Amino acid sequence: MKKDIIEPFQNKDIFNKLTIEDLDTKGKKVFIRADFNVPLDDNLMITDDRRIRSTLPTINYAIDEGAKVILSSHLGRPKGKVDPRLSLAPVAKRLKRLLNKEVIFAPDCIGSQVEGLVSKMRDGDVMILENLRYHPGEENNDEEFARSLAKLADFYVNDAFGAAHRAHASIVGITKFLPSAAGFLLKKEIEYLKGAIDNPVKPFIAILGGAKVSGKIGVLEHLVGHVDKVLVGGGMAFTFIKAMGYEIGDSLVEDGMLETAERIRKKLIENGIKFYLPVDCVIAQSIDPGAVIKIVPTLEIPQGWKALDIGPASVKLFTIALQDAKTILWNGPMGMFEIDLFSRGTFDIARAVSDAYALTIVGGGDTDLAVNRAGVSNTISFISTGGGASLQLLEGKELPGIAALTNRAD
């Protein structure tokens, strides 16, 4: 892992909530809300366990402190009903291997049977509860469901940043009944993402991509006054380009966002922020892996063709723009990198970010997957585990799961 070349945050009071280190957990039952929403294949095997690994520091700390560790999470969207395909049993199996110790798997997350299993736990034991979303009370933030979860423990620890933007029972409701603190992952996410925008070491450069402008409007608005350069790629770039009056062929566009895109572009420039769009792109008539592709200037996309990746000149332009960066925030791919024909731009930018002598922060979701496929994840300073949560934080919004935690006494 790349060392933090630049101090990620200069305001040491950026996180004002209790953390697990503030709790006297020896001999106590600690309910840890994790984000074990991992991908499974057709054989119910975990294909990517990074979310599990990211919570290990918090779990191991609780074990070492002599706590009785009760882990909980959702998996998928069972919509309040039991779905065996979304059981957390595979997670329990993987945790057993990662922790190198026995992990008790509870058949439910509330009820007398679970309470009986908890009562038999010894200091240092680890239990994982079955999928929280098997109960409709989880997503409804039902008070009685939250109270039932709280009955299992003495303390609550939230280490599920990827779900911290949800006002669910295991995220918000449970905090009414237990002293509540953050785990190490949650604290680190806040420090990096909030710290990067509120107190960046400059020059601070944001790279935004993905399909739609609408998903990043709040981030762009919040970046004004904080960032020095904004680099825009992916499908969202073509809404900006069309808003400037240029033809974009059959490329992705949000026609309802044209006026907003142009307003934001002008606002950024008026505030002295350098704003970059692709100057060339890889185009095709379909996204078929065997499609014929061309590289053309961005302003010369013919009708019937669509832009699906940034081109080599854009990669060079963006790479040069990154050379003086001290802080880089990247959220959103440069094209349809899932298809080899259209992956080069995203992977080249991933390598440029990795090579930068800067604090490098990658937003969750597709960007996380892109840096891993590019083979540079180990040289990025910090990779967020949250998609929607990281976007809301970058928009300057308070996350319900953070707000609900117990404040640190001044």
**Residues acting as catalytic residues:** 51, 212, 365, 388
Of 31, 68, 70, 64, give the one whose Cα is nearest residue 157.
31
Burial 53-81, CB ≥16 within 10 A → b, else e: ebbeebbebbbebebbbbbbbbbeebeee
Strands 155-158 and 126-128 come out as unpaired
Single-letter residue type at 102: E
The answer to whether the beta carbons of residues 30 and 70 sit under 8 Å apart is yes
Q: What is the DSSP letter of 240?
A: H
For residue 84, cis peptide bond before it (omega within 30 degrees of 0): no
Contacts by 348-351, CB closer than 8 A, 24 or more apart: 348/315, 348/319, 349/207, 349/233, 349/310, 349/315, 349/318, 349/319, 350/374, 350/376, 351/376
> Sign (positive/negative) of CA torsion 182, 185, 188, 192?
negative
Question: How many DSSP H helices and E strands does the chain contain?
Answer: 15, 15
Single-letter residue type at 388: G
Dihedral over alpha carbons 274, 277, 279, 283 (to 10 degrees): 170
